[in-house]
Structure 1
Amino acid sequence: MAKSSSELSKKPSPKLIICPYCQGKKVVKKGIRNKKLEKVQIFYCQHCQKKFTTGTAKYKTYPLQVILATLSLYNEFYTKDQIVDFVGKKYRLKLSGQNIANWLKDYREYLPFLRMREFATGKYSRREAIVRSRMFHGQIYDFGFHRAKMDCILEEEYRHYKFLPLREYLELVLAECPHQVFKDNSFRASEYKDIFNLDGARITRRENRAVEMARLVLEAVENNKERHQFLQNFMLANDSVTVGVEVPILMTPEDIFHYQKMLGFKVPLELKEGEALTGHIDIVQIRNGAVHLLDFKPSARKAKPVAQLTLYALALARLTSLRLYHFKCAWFDGEDYFDFFPLHIVYKKVKTSVKKIC
């Protein structure tokens, strides 16, 4: 039997929507508002009985996805005229330089890279600033490295200069990535679950700008498959700490031997000669004196990719010859951000008892 329109309007939304008036979670869809260039979903709170839209782009004529894409193009060193032309061809929308200027002002809190932009544009051309490559490693991965931002980070703070080997590795990815290894005789880090002993490890929920950016992108992009890449590109272009996305890593039997036998780390993993552990790190950041490896996980509160992220950190530490001490891992979505130190996962301090001599 077909359901009436009133019954359909009461169907709960599959994505958690919180009422901006009372913070209630009993929210249902309640019709569509037709704007000039897009349609916007209207929601109804069953607790306070008020209607609302997810309003980051409230009172904006243009779709939020177009606005965010425009902001990214600006921070990728496109001129306003080039952006107007690009948006016109891709989205078939007419923009003006004033539109772009207004959005840069309205969304400035999401664009911390703006403070670096003047320095970066003086040193790099648009083609030199961000390096990109599409990698066919079983699946398609769009690697990105923000060369200009990396240099700004290394030069701004002396404590970050020790991460120069990370810059060198990201530079070499295009020329020396062993693509065949990622296709043959390799195991994906994301396939490993619960292989580490988490005793003594502290997983902490924190407030982080990545959550705010994810929430903004989730509102802008409806297609689940497109959200992941859009978020990566938005953070790479617009925040002040993301230096790489979809960064390829691999670990060999020799690397595992080094960790197990030379350093005494508890790495419960075995690889045969010729095999390799591979993966692609969603987001690599440098901030607060550490290298942060981030993984975007829808429903982050239910996920726990500790093993996957720890393996990423172990691999990248070996590839860059950086100490694991300098790495921190996290996973997040539009609501939550959880982080931990991978060193605490693989290295457990042994408490020794001191005997009293009477």
Structure 2
Amino acid sequence: MTQKNIEDFKCPICNKKDILYNGWNQNKQIYYCKNCKKRFERHELKNNNYNPSIIINAISYFNIGNSLNDVVQLIDKKYKTKVTTNLIYSWIGDYYKICNYKKIRAYILKNYNGGIIDAFSYNHNDCNYNFMFHKPKLKILCDNHPKLLDYITKMKELYPKNFFEKGRKHSNLNLDINFRKEGKYNQACRLADFSLKACDKNTEKRKFVENFMLINDSSTVACEVPVWFWEKYLDVGICGHIDILQIRKGNIYVLEYSSNDSKNKEENIASKLFLYASGLSFRTSIPLMKFRCAWFDQNNYYEFSPWEQNFSVKFRNKLYFRKI
């Protein structure tokens, strides 16, 4: 790549062109943005003569249960663009490692009837949230967590509207957590990076990532999951929602997509994720040691174990501690 090439694309984080080469990672060129001071890889779609939205939506249409012929018709209707079943199948193969739901798609279509996604909307702090869960994935991955399966599938019945109207929002109760995060680039980053190529508005990034992961990732089981519990040590009600819920190797992952990793934001996110993992542990009787908390964007993934964290919090003029 020549110097001219590096001036021809923008930073995917801040959308500026002030970019430098910054080494290599596993044979991939790494770039550095002088404006936002972030490192990133440059990802380009194959078959890029097509709008990325067409490719991404075609894969999602297929993984939601449509046949290749159905996907052709849906793309034609939405984008007024003619594609073939062979082209769509090639896209599915090209991005198989990112959209790994394909490895269980045939099994799910064979063994599960009816709609794949279930959802309902709820209101919290004057904002509407769309709780969604993938029914077949949930049943498969919750084999050892039946109470989590009940909690999610019966959410419409369990959801405590009055508690969310009166409950304390997490942001009013920030814990001073000495979290030990592990930073890396993983599948969540790849999914976010790929899905956001179809997103034109910053305000819709979170929704794009959540919806895409629920449909195309093999371990994501639910999004915008309501959580509520009474913190007995502080004598206060806490409620909120989990952006993305995954089950991997028997562990429950409480995830948040966040594109701002400043120190203050990190502490706020860690506090929120810890509280939500604690709440879900209480609601499902699953030990907290089975949970992991993480936040991520297109370039970084940070994870910590809520069970291993010490924290303190000042509330109602009292200082509370939790030490492992």
Q: TM-score range by the shorter chain?
A: 0.7 to 0.9
- Aligned-partner residue type, residue 32 of structure 2: K
| Equivalence for 1:250 | 228
Residue 30 of structure 2 aligns to a residue whose secondary structure is coil
| Equivalence for 2:314 | none
Answer whether contact 1:300 1:331 (CA < 8 A) is retained: no
Unaligned runs of 5+ in 2: 1-6, 36-40, 311-321
Match of 1:162 among 139, 144, 154: 144
1:117 and 2:105 matched? yes
- Aligned-partner residue type, residue 207 of structure 1: Y
Please state how far the C-alpha of 1:236 moved relative to its aligned partner. Answer: 0.8
Residue 309 of structure 2 aligns to a residue whose secondary structure is helix
Please state how far the C-alpha of 1:179 moved relative to its aligned partner. Answer: 2.7
| Equivalence for 2:73 | 85
Match of 1:298 among 249, 259, 269: 259
Q: Show CA shifts across 1:242-282 (max 9, x none).
A: 11111011112xxx22xx4xxxxxxxx442xxxx3211101
| Number of residue pairs the alignment of both structures matches | 289
Looking at structure 2, the residues matched to 26 and 203 of structure 1 have their Cα atoms a distance apart, in angstroms, of: 24
**For 1:87-166, what aligned pairs fall within 5 Å after superposition?**
87-127=75-115, 129-137=116-124, 138-154=126-142, 161-166=143-148
Looking at structure 1, the residues matched to 10 and 106 of structure 2 have their Cα atoms a distance apart, in angstroms, of: 46
Looking at structure 2, the residues matched to 124 and 296 of structure 1 have their Cα atoms a distance apart, in angstroms, of: 30
Answer whether contact 2:184 2:301 (CA < 8 A) is retained: yes
Answer whether contact 2:29 2:42 (CA < 8 A) is retained: no
Please state how far the C-alpha of 1:210 moved relative to its aligned partner. Answer: 0.2
Q: Show CA shifts across 1:185-215 (max 9, x none).
A: 122224433x2342xx422113321011112
Answer whether contact 1:78 1:126 (CA < 8 A) is retained: no
Looking at structure 2, the residues matched to 18 and 64 of structure 1 have their Cα atoms a distance apart, in angstroms, of: 25
| Equivalence for 1:203 | 181
| Equivalence for 1:337 | 301
Looking at structure 2, the residues matched to 202 and 60 of structure 1 have their Cα atoms a distance apart, in angstroms, of: 40
Looking at structure 2, the residues matched to 314 and 342 of structure 1 have their Cα atoms a distance apart, in angstroms, of: 8
- Aligned-partner residue type, residue 196 of structure 1: D
Match of 2:210 among 232, 240, 243: 232
Answer whether contact 1:301 1:336 (CA < 8 A) is retained: no
Please state how far the C-alpha of 1:339 moved relative to its aligned partner. Answer: 0.9
Please state how far the C-alpha of 1:22 moved relative to its aligned partner. Answer: 5.6
The percent of aligned pairs where both chains have the same amino acid is 28
- Aligned-partner residue type, residue 261 of structure 2: A
Q: Show CA shifts across 1:127-166 (max 9, x none).
A: 1x22122223321211111111122324xxxxxx332211
Answer whether contact 1:72 1:238 (CA < 8 A) is retained: yes
Residue 62 of structure 1 aligns to a residue whose secondary structure is coil
Answer whether contact 2:144 2:250 (CA < 8 A) is retained: no
Looking at structure 1, the residues matched to 106 and 52 of structure 2 have their Cα atoms a distance apart, in angstroms, of: 26
Looking at structure 2, the residues matched to 321 and 333 of structure 1 have their Cα atoms a distance apart, in angstroms, of: 30
Unaligned runs of 5+ in 1: 1-8, 29-52, 155-160, 261-268, 350-358
RMSD: 2.7
TM value normalised by structure 2: 0.80
| Equivalence for 1:175 | 157
Answer whether contact 1:56 1:216 (CA < 8 A) is retained: no
Please state how far the C-alpha of 1:58 moved relative to its aligned partner. Answer: 4.5
- Aligned-partner residue type, residue 30 of structure 2: Q
Relative to structure 1, the CA distance from residue 100 to residue 146 in structure 2 (aligned partners, 3 Å threshold; closer, same or farther) is same
| Equivalence for 2:316 | none
| Equivalence for 2:63 | 75
Answer whether contact 2:183 2:301 (CA < 8 A) is retained: yes
Q: Show CA shifts across 1:310-340 (max 9, x none).
A: 1101111111111111111001111111111
**For 1:217-228, what aligned pairs fall within 5 Å after superposition?**
217-228=195-206
Hey, which bits of structure 1, 4+ residues long, moved more than 6 A? 9-12
Relative to structure 1, the CA distance from residue 229 to residue 12 in structure 2 (aligned partners, 3 Å threshold; closer, same or farther) is closer
Relative to structure 1, the CA distance from residue 148 to residue 342 in structure 2 (aligned partners, 3 Å threshold; closer, same or farther) is same
Looking at structure 2, the residues matched to 105 and 25 of structure 1 have their Cα atoms a distance apart, in angstroms, of: 31
Q: Show CA shifts across 1:285-334 (max 9, x none).
A: 11122101001111235431111001101111111111111111001111
Looking at structure 1, the residues matched to 89 and 156 of structure 2 have their Cα atoms a distance apart, in angstroms, of: 35
1:327 and 2:291 matched? yes
Relative to structure 1, the CA distance from residue 320 to residue 24 in structure 2 (aligned partners, 3 Å threshold; closer, same or farther) is closer
Relative to structure 1, the CA distance from residue 62 to residue 168 in structure 2 (aligned partners, 3 Å threshold; closer, same or farther) is same
Answer whether contact 1:120 1:152 (CA < 8 A) is retained: no
TM value normalised by structure 1: 0.73
